[in-house]
Amino acid sequence: MELDQVLIGCPVRDRGWVLPRYLECLSGLDYPQNRIEYAFIVNDSTDDTLAILQEFARWSTSPVHIILKNMGNRHSSSRGAYNISNLVVLRNLLLQIFLETECSSLFSVDSDILITPESLKELVKLNLPVVSMLVRNDHHLGELGYYNIMRLQGDHYRPLQDFPRSGPIPVDCTGAVYLIQRWVIEQSEVRYHPHRQGEDVGFCEDARSKGIGIWCHTGLESTHVMIK
């Protein structure tokens, strides 16, 4: 049985310090390279991000789409200084690029996430509409056990801290690294939207409003490189 054709990518800004490790992890996936395409949206970068991606494209055996979309963002690219409105535009552009391919799934992997070799194959096997793997989101806060999965409590999304670690669980919101099936974007027209807690929350809210479940495979965990 032939595996799904998957597009892997994300918006990228000033990530030259981690991109080589990120791209090495993508290249090391236990997944046929002829079933993978890549797409990176380079925006407002002042470092060697573009050059690193162009070099990756030269030796990659999979198609690599590199798109330049500067947003005129003069703020820092450091964590906590992101412009959510700009990220909504950039992530929706990634969805548009995805729909222009023949890929059946989009593997959205932020550029500071180091994924494990088996992750993509295991997520594809689940055949879920939107499913992530675990990512720590608290290295800058200490050992608090905050991950990229949340439940809605009142009008605020709060991190789940007590959950099984053996397989897929339903969640209200996820982000950072997740697989999205094509029909979610093409037929149901789920898109990113601004939200005070981030554009991933806007995406998940749009999906859930259309009856689409959000999941996380808690048996898979990647590394979040939050600090240079």
pLDDT 10s digit of each residue in the chain, 228 long? 678 999 999 999 999 999 999 999 999 999 999 999 999 999 999 999 999 999 999 999 999 999 999 988 766 555 445 689 999 999 999 999 999 999 999 999 999 999 999 999 999 999 999 999 999 886 555 556 789 999 999 999 999 989 999 899 999 999 999 999 999 999 999 999 999 999 999 999 999 999 999 999 999 999 999 777
Measured between alpha carbons, how far is 61 from 185 in angstroms, rounded to an integer? 27
Where do runs of H (alpha helix) occur along 109-224? 119-126, 182-186, 199-209
Angle at 150 between CA 21 and CA 210, to 5 degrees: 105
Q: Which two tokens stand for residue 189?
A: 């027209």
Report the CATH architecture of 6-224.
Alpha-Beta Complex (3.90)
**Euclidean distance between CA atoms 19 and 149, whole angstroms:** 24
Q: How many CA atoms lie within 13 A of 203 on its CB side?
A: 28
Tokens of 223: 């590394």
Torsion of CA 170, 123, 159, 183, to 10 degrees: -60
Give the whole-angstrom CA distance, residue 160 versus residue 122: 22
- Amino acid (1-letter code) at residue 44: D
Residue ranges per domain, the chain?
Answer: 6-224
pTM for the structure as a whole = 0.94
- Classify strands 214-224 and 113-114 as parallel, antiparallel or unpaired: antiparallel
- What are the backbone angles phi and psi of residue 206, rounded to the nearest 5°? -65, -45
